[in-house]
Amino acid sequence: MQLPVAQSWYSVQRIDDGLRLILEDHVDPAWRCNIWHVSGRDKDILVDSGMGVVPLKSEIALLRERPVACLATHCHYDHVGGQHEFDERLSHAAEAGIMAAPSRANTVADLFVTEELFSALPPQGLDIAGYNVSPAAPTRTVAEGDIVDLGDRAFEVLHLPGHSPGCIALWEAASGTLFSGDIVYDGELFDTLYHSDIDSYIASLERLRALPVTVVHGGHFTSFGSARLLELIDFNLQRWQRR
C-alpha cells in the first residue's frame, strides 16, 4: 500500500483560554495520544508529545514563542516522541532510564507501530519499520506530591502506577482538572504490557475514585467528567475482580 504524503502533520484545537489539544492528524485516532498544551503566566507545560514523527516546534509556533516544560505521563512511544525538542523535560524516575535509552521494545513501539497506524506519511518520509523514539532523559524527575508551578496555576503530581511503573497524572485542585495520561481514559485500558501491574493499577484507580474531579483530560480519546470517571473506574475494578 502506498500512503499519500501529508501537507501538515499536527492540528491544534483550542479548548479554552488556557488549554489546547494538539493531535497528529495522520495517526489512527484509535491509537494516537492527546498532546495537551497548558498555558501559564510564567511558562507553559506540554503534557506528552506524541510520536515525534514530525518535529512539533517546526509546525506549532505556540511551542517556539514561550518557555515550555514537556512532561511525560509515561514512557510509551506514543507519548514521548517529541520530548527531545524541549530543554525542560519532566518525568517519573521509574521510567527515566527508558527515556534516556528508548528501544522499540521498552517503549512498546514494536507492538503497535505498523503501516496501518498511518493514513499519510510526512513530506520528509518515515521509516516505519525502523521507527524509534529519540533519547531524551528527563532534566528533572518528579515524584508523588511534587508541584509543577506555572506561576498562576499549580499542578500536583500523582504517581499512579499500573499501566506502567512510572505513570504520573497532573492534578489541579483549584479547578478539579486531571490530566490522566494512560492511567484512565474513555476507552479500553491496557494492563498487559511488559511492565504493567494489575494490583498497582487497582490501587491507582481507587485513589482516583476519591478525587473531586470536574474534568479528566486523558492520554487518548475525548475528555469527560466525574460521572464517567466513576463508571470507567468501576468497570475496570470489576473486570479485575473477576480475574
Complex with Zn ion: residue 40 or 181, whichever CB lies closer: 181
Cα 217 → chain centroid: 10
| 8/35 Cα distance (integer angstroms) | 16
**Cβ 185 to Zn ion shortest distance, Å:** 8
**Cβ 73 to Zn ion shortest distance, Å:** 8
**Cβ 190 to Zn ion shortest distance, Å:** 6
**Cβ 230 to Zn ion shortest distance, Å:** 22
Complex with Zn ion: residue 138 or 219, whichever CB lies closer: 219
Burial of 13 (0-12, 13-18, 19+ CB in 10 A): exposed
Binding mask 201-240 for Zn ion (x = CB under 5 A): ------------------x---------------------
Number of residues that bind Zn ion (CB under 5 A): 5
| Span near Zn ion by CB under 5 A; candidates 6-14, 32-40, 46-54, 202-210 | 32-40
Residue 98's identity, in one-letter code, is: I
**CB atoms near residue 206 (< 10 Å):** 11
Complex with Zn ion: residue 36 or 39, whichever CB lies closer: 36
| Span near Zn ion by CB under 5 A; candidates 7-15, 29-37, 54-62, 126-134 | 29-37
| Contact indicator for 107, 133 with CB cutoff of 8 Å | yes
| Contact indicator for 183, 167 with CB cutoff of 8 Å | yes
94, three cell numbers: 521509574
Q: Contact between 32 and Zn ion (CB under 5 A)?
A: no
**Cβ 182 to Zn ion shortest distance, Å:** 4
Residue 157's identity, in one-letter code, is: V
Cβ within 8 Å of residue 116, ≥6 positions away: 28
Which string of DSSP letters, residue by residue, matches 77-140? HHHHTTGGG-SEEEE-GGGHHHHHS--TTTTTHHHH-SGGGBSSB-TT---STT--PPP---SE
**Cβ 220 to Zn ion shortest distance, Å:** 6
Q: Which of residues 69-98 bind Zn ion (CB under 5 A)?
A: 76, 78
* Residue in 182, 204, 216, 236 binding Zn ion, rule: CB under 5 A: 182
Q: Contact between 44 and Zn ion (CB under 5 A)?
A: no
> What are the residues binding Zn ion (CB under 5 A)?
33, 76, 78, 182, 219
